[in-house]
Amino acid sequence: MTTRTPLLHILTDPLLRQNPVTLQILGICSALAVTTSLATAITMCVSLTVVVTLAAGIISTIRRHIPDSIRLIVQIVIIASLVIVIDQVLQAWFAEISRTLSIFVALITTNCLVLGRTESFARHNAPLPAMTDAFGNGLGYSLILVVIGGLRELFGQGQLLGRQVLPLAETGGWFTPLSLMLLAPSAFFLLGGLVWAIRSIRPEQAEVPEHMPPKAEPAE
C-alpha cells in the first residue's frame, strides 16, 4: 500500500504536473485522432473519463481476488465490457458523433491510459482513491484534447462547436481557413508545441539529454 495522500492532491496532480498525455506518454493515439473538431473531442473525453473511472473502481474493488498471472486479461475484459456499453450508448443517442468517432470509441479498450492507470494505481489502492486518480487522469487527458481540438477547429474552419467564430473570407470576413489544421500533421505539431509550452513553464519536466557535448580536451 502506498502512503495516504489527500484525495484532492490525487485529483489535481494529473492535470498539469503529471499530465497523462504530455508527461506519461499515455493515450496519445486517440488524443490526436479525434481532435479535428471540439464536439468529437469532448465526446471522446467524456467516454474515456467514464470508462477509466468505472474500470478503476471495479478493478480496485476486486483487486484482492485477481490472480497476478492473469490480471492483464481480467483487466482488459472489464475495460472491454465497459467500452461496449459506452459504444452502444453513443450509437443509440449520439449516432452522428458515433459515426465520426468510428472505431476510436472501441479503441478505448487498448488505450494505454486506461490500462496504465488500472495497472499502476487501481491495482494497489482502495476504490475511492483509485477512482479519484482515474477521474483526475481523465480530466488531464480531457484538458489536452479540448485545447488541441479547440485550436484545430478554430483555425481549420473558423468555428467552435459548429458555430462560426471567425468570419470566413468567402462570406465577406477576413479569415482564410488553414486546411492543414484538419490534416494529421498539424495534430503532431500542436501537441509538440503544447509539450514544449508545458515544459517551459515547468522546467523540472524536461528530459535530461542523452549525450552531453564533448568538453574541449586538453592539448596533448
Note the residues at the interface with other proteins (CB under 8 A). 22, 25-33, 72-73, 76-77, 80-81, 83-84, 87-88, 102-103, 106-107, 109-112, 115, 183-189, 191-193, 195-200, 203, 206-207, 209-211, 213
Identity of the residue, 10 or 32, whose beta carbon is nearer to other proteins in the bound complex: 32
Whichever of 147 and 166 has its CB closer to other proteins, that residue is: 147
- Main-chain dihedrals φ then ψ at residue 69, nearest 5 degrees: -70, -30
Minimum distance from residue 173 beta carbon to other proteins (Å)? 28
Nearer residue to other proteins within complex by CB, 62 or 180: 180
Distance of closest approach, residue 105 Cβ to other proteins, in angstroms? 10
Cell numbers for 136:
483526475
> What is the nearest approach in angstroms of other proteins to the Cβ of residue 118?
11
Closer to other proteins by CB, 10 or 83: give it: 83
Of 8 and 25, the one with the shorter C-beta distance to other proteins is 25
Q: CB-based contacts of 190: which residues, under 8 Å, 6+ apart?
A: 148, 151, 152
Closest contact distance (angstroms) between CB of 174 and other proteins is 27
Minimum distance of other proteins from residue 214's CB (angstroms): 10
What is the C-alpha to C-alpha distance for residues 119 and 131, in angstroms, rounded to an integer?
13
Q: Indicate the residue among 10 and 144 with the shorter CB distance to other proteins.
A: 144
Shortest distance, position 107 Cβ to other proteins, whole Å = 5
